[in-house]
Structure 1
């Protein structure tokens, strides 16, 4: 890939995974709101540890594996459909299902100006990482940068959630992002050579928080 093509690919990733891209990411907390309510996340160090687990061992890691698979097989309708179905089935709660599929569908709609194939050949409920992977593959952004950008966007949104929940301020929030850079880079590199056999998580408290949020009485977020 030449310098111009690499710059174009970078610009696309920055645009697609910007907080301004209209997928409604700001309205989801991925269970962070419940974890704050339960006292599981109290400060910036606790937030850093929580997010590191997500992207190394939890839902963030699984999303990265699914993104990588959909990137590689974006041109194979049968394989891509299998990834789409698997990603939907892996949504472990009602809110998690809505969070990933509504963002996925919104992403495909918003990304139409870059797509030569309507909806990248996807139909039905499409999980967010599958949508991003298919479009990134279609546009040849390179896999590892797409994974890094996706994981960074994920933790950036969750840091914003924590700020709005009063766990940390903006200055410490930026420090959390800086502290997570090595974990993001490592997970992106590992996911770039992953297969579906590498799916699996060990973020039990985060998963329980996502489930408990469904009955949280007073809430700011949809998950």
Structure 2
């Protein structure tokens, strides 16, 4: 009879213990589609793009989302998340207020303002209810006005001492996944095609996360006029499934 002995390397067994495991657990929870921020209610203007024929198949959805991610709201939100995270980590309350105010003013339409402000508020409320920490309440007290979604994620993750890089990458993955979910219901697309679009956007998510991590507020900017127009036109669209 042969006996097989399985040996576990100590460094491998301990690799995801302690703070690393807690950080991963919280990111997976906070940026899961099941986390109660109401993301399923919003399409970020994709509904109008489908209605007008700009999006009608996996390829056009991928192209639209790649532009939104790399040259539009995806990149800008990544910058705001990064700057909020750094401000909290450095206890720079003036910088945090400036970032929060600028991020709130940067959205191009009323519906997008509703979307990001409502999700930011819901994210903070749910995180505080289940994962409150000593550093979070004092940070929130320093912010005046609405805290939009990317700032909320950066703020909460920094208060929990979760590193910026995985937070930023997980956030952009969640944003793109929600866009694809909206597109799959509107076009409609099958589950396999939706996963193919997500897979094709993987390099763009990684590259945008790196750009946003390195960018300052002076480098903010977008070049997605059609997507911005979609978010405005959606306000008067005759039939709607989504709130944006």
- TM bin (shorter chain): over 0.9
Retained in 2: the 8 A contact 1:87–1:130?
Answer: yes
Distance in structure 1 (CA, Å) of the matches to 2:49 and 2:138 = 35
1:51-130 superposed matches below 5 A: 51-74=65-88, 75-112=91-128, 113-116=131-134, 117-118=136-137, 120-121=139-140, 122-130=143-151
Matched, 1:25 2:39: yes
Unaligned residue ranges in structure 2 (runs of 5+): 1-14
Partner of 2:9: none
Question: 1:86 Cα deviation (Å)?
Answer: 0.2
Partner of 2:243: 222
Cα 1:12–1:166 change in 2 (3 A) is same
Partner of 2:184: 163
Partner of 1:151: 172
Unaligned residue ranges in structure 1 (runs of 5+): none
Distance in structure 1 (CA, Å) of the matches to 2:93 and 2:139 = 9
Distance in structure 2 (CA, Å) of the matches to 1:168 and 1:49 = 15
Q: Which has the larger radius of gyration?
A: 2
Structure 1 runs (4+) greater than 6 angstroms displaced: none
Partner of 1:11: 25
Report the secondary structure of 1:73's partner residue.
helix
1:175 to 196, 201, 220: 196
Distance in structure 2 (CA, Å) of the matches to 1:57 and 1:40 = 17
TM-score using structure 1 length? 0.96
TM-score using structure 2 length? 0.88
Question: What is the Cα-based RMSD across aligned positions, in Å?
Answer: 1.3
Question: 1:34 Cα deviation (Å)?
Answer: 0.4
Question: 1:3 Cα deviation (Å)?
Answer: 4.2
Report the secondary structure of 1:50's partner residue.
helix
